[in-house]
Amino acid sequence: MKIDPNSSKDLSAQIAQAIRDAIIKGDLIVDERLPSEAELSEHFDVSRPTVREALKRLAAQSLIRTQRGATGGAFVNRLTFEDAYGQQITTSTLLLSMNAVSFATACEARYALERACAPLSARRRNADHLATMRAEIHRQTQEGLSDEAFCASDVAFHRALVDGAGNPVLSYQLAGAVEAMQPLMNMITFTARSRVRIITLHGNIADAIEARDPKGADAALIDLENYTIELAQDVMARRAGA
Amino acid sequence: MKIDPNSSKDLSAQIAQAIRDAIIKGDLIVDERLPSEAELSEHFDVSRPTVREALKRLAAQSLIRTQRGATGGAFVNRLTFEDAYGQQITTSTLLLSMNAVSFATACEARYALERACAPLSARRRNADHLATMRAEIHRQTQEGLSDEAFCASDVAFHRALVDGAGNPVLSYQLAGAVEAMQPLMNMITFTARSRVRIITLHGNIADAIEARDPKGADAALIDLENYTIELAQDVMARRAGA
DNA sequence: CAATTTTCATTTGTCAGACATTTAAAAGTC
DNA sequence: GACTTTTAAATGTCTGACAAATGAAAATTG
């Protein structure tokens, strides 16, 4: 691991990159302890605060964890699916909010990905996944449910559908797409009338998944996508009119 | 923005979270300048190195950028699709390498997502996308191409297919899935014989995309997926036998 | 001897202050 | 007015120090 003292980049960025590369390359393996901050600062010939800035960069990406004390230090962290979910959601959310992505584009991406999971989920879902979907549908029918709670339940429903595919890599990929859409979805579910229709469409999806009917699940998702687009257009039109 | 000095977490982690929340919530908007490090250290009642550690955490996630000089400082960064690609690829790569994900699982996820793009790409691809696909196929036929170069060309081919859908959100999601698979794909493409077959299958995909044939593209992708699985099983068997 | 307590060295977390470097604006000069 | 110099502000980096956590070794105790 070496750095170029003449580079224009920050030393801490270079050091972080050097360690990151070592982890990706496999020179540093999971749970391996990195040299202490003092040793690293000597190795790279920089001060301890600079090393610390580099380590914090890596910690922000969940690549390392630190522990205080005699046997403490920085350890290569096993990147869990849960960690990755969180980063994926944060990144996707900011990506959508900062880049003027049209509702149509985001919606298309989300349903395209979800439809990729549906056939697998129809084949492999277990009783738990189905029960979660039904429970969330039931929650959605409750009077007096706030828009936020309705949307959270919506996310949970789709999450169960995706998890039903039994493929953690797919679940990870979808987490960002589904959760990042929540703020946008919030806009279009605030009338009682649209809720009823959405719940019906959710029911159709659950029915198809229960019947282990891949084509039916796909068709039901397309229905939901079309209705979502329709609602969004209504909201846009109403907003433009007002 | 406030922090809890009694929390068990690092101060720099808390400060980073507070600023991150402010960005997500919209209290800090794109290109807005954060207070200087000196002002932040006064606001949070911590030292400047601690503030800097917090800022480096945010920089690692591309949430801020810093600039030196009189009018410099830390600015809220517009998270570009390109930035997000990079993070997505790094995260996906490490996720696969650190979590004993089976080849079958990773492969299934990758092709499920790619098949979600194929119909859209068949409808919307332009001449450039098609030309890139053809060029990469041609590159793959060249004698003496290293395994690494072949895989890179493979990635570029699939990237063009995905980009043909014209949906940057989809492209972003797929970037991780396709690129993270590259090391795994490396294993199974090192015989000249498999290259020929892969190139044929790539040709079939390109033909379907050129003909704007969604179903044909889907079928061709399924063929490629099946062949990929078959090759992987051969490699496993050979490795077990040896 | 076994169990418990204490001590201690190691490591990260935090702080204070200083200097170097970069940058753009302000002041000065022709 | 155009160019040069100065200056102030900000980040980048360093030094040195102390606090706090933590596990292991040493000392103590029954």
What digits encode the pLDDT tens for the residues A175-227?
888 888 877 777 777 777 788 999 999 999 999 999 999 999 999 999 999 99
Q: Do B19 and B124 belong together in one domain?
A: no
Q: A18 pLDDT band (50/70/90 cuts)?
A: very high
Is B153 inside a domain boundary?
Answer: yes
Q: Do A94 and A192 belong together in one domain?
A: yes
Q: Which residue has the tokens 């009189």?
A: B70
Residues with CB under 7 A from strand C: A 34, 36-38, 48-49, 52, 55, 66-70, 72-74; B 10-12, 45-50, 53, 67-72
Is A137 inside a domain boundary?
Answer: yes
- Candidate from A80, A106, A120 with C-beta closest to B169: A106
Output the domain CATH number for residue B43.
Answer: 1.10.10.10
Q: Do A85 and A72 belong together in one domain?
A: no
Q: Do A219 and A109 belong together in one domain?
A: yes
- Candidate from B49, B95, B170 with C-beta closest to A172: B95
Q: Do B70 and B188 belong together in one domain?
A: no
Output the domain CATH number for residue B106.
Answer: 1.20.120.530
Cβ neighbours of residue B157 closer than 8 Å, sequence gap 6 or more: B132, B133, B136, B137, B140, B202
Number of independent structural domains in chain B: 2
Return the pLDDT at B242: 67
| Residue finishing a domain among B20, B55, B76 | B76
Is A4 inside a domain boundary?
Answer: no
Per-residue pLDDT reduced to its tens digit, B160-214? 999 999 999 999 988 888 888 877 777 777 777 888 999 999 999 999 999 999 9
Q: Do B38 and B104 belong together in one domain?
A: no
Is B6 inside a domain boundary?
Answer: no
| Residue finishing a domain among A76, A99, A117 | A76
The closest nt to B51, taking CA to C1', is: C14
Whole-number Å distance between alpha carbons of B195 and B103: 19
CA distances from A21 to A12, A74, A218 (A): 14, 16, 41
Cβ neighbours of residue B116 closer than 8 Å, sequence gap 6 or more: A112, A113, A115, A116, B170
- Cβ atoms within 10 Å of A213's Cβ, excluding its own: 17
Query: What's the rounded mean pLDDT across residues A119-126?
Result: 96
CA of B109 to C1' of D21 (A): 43
What tokens does A183 get? 């703020």
Kindly report the pTM of this predicted structure: 0.88
Whole-number Å distance between alpha carbons of A111 and A218: 10
Is A1 inside a domain boundary?
Answer: no
Q: Do B97 and B55 belong together in one domain?
A: no
User: Residue A1, SS3?
Assistant: coil
Q: Do A53 and A147 belong together in one domain?
A: no
Q: Do B104 and B216 belong together in one domain?
A: yes
Residue B65 near chain A (CB below 8 Å): no
Query: What's the rounded mean pLDDT across residues B104-128?
Result: 94
**Partner residues linked to B65 by β-bridges:** B75
Angle at B160 (CA atoms; ends B156, B165), nearest 5 degrees: 150
Least confident piece of the model among A137-141, A178-182, A216-220, B115-119 = A178-182
Q: B232 pLDDT band (50/70/90 cuts)?
A: confident
Is B1 inside a domain boundary?
Answer: no
Q: What is the DSSP letter of A178?
A: H
- Candidate from B56, B97, B101 with C-beta closest to A56: B56
Average pLDDT, chain A: 92
Is A128 inside a domain boundary?
Answer: yes
Q: B19 and B1 in contact (C-beta within 8 Å)?
A: yes
Q: Do A93 and B24 touch (CB under 8 A)?
A: yes
- Cβ atoms within 10 Å of A144's Cβ, excluding its own: 5
Per-residue pLDDT reduced to its tens digit, B80-96? 998 998 889 999 999 99
Q: Comparing A111 with A4, which gets the higher pLDDT?
A: A111
Q: Do B93 and B176 belong together in one domain?
A: yes
Helices A168-180 and B103-124: angle between axes, nearest 10 degrees: 50
Q: Do A41 and A107 belong together in one domain?
A: no
Is A5 inside a domain boundary?
Answer: no
Query: What's the rounded mean pLDDT across residues A29-55?
Result: 96
Domain that holds residue A27: 11-76
Q: Do B94 and B202 belong together in one domain?
A: yes
Q: Which residue has the tokens 């690092």?
A: B10
Q: Do A170 and B109 touch (CB under 8 A)?
A: yes
Return the pLDDT at B78: 95
Closest CA to A217 of A230, A228, A204, A227: A204
> Which residue of B lies nearest to A167 if distances are taken between CA atoms?
B105
User: Residue A135, SS3?
Assistant: helix
| Residue finishing a domain among B43, B58, B76 | B76
> Which residue of B lies nearest to A168 if distances are taken between CA atoms?
B105
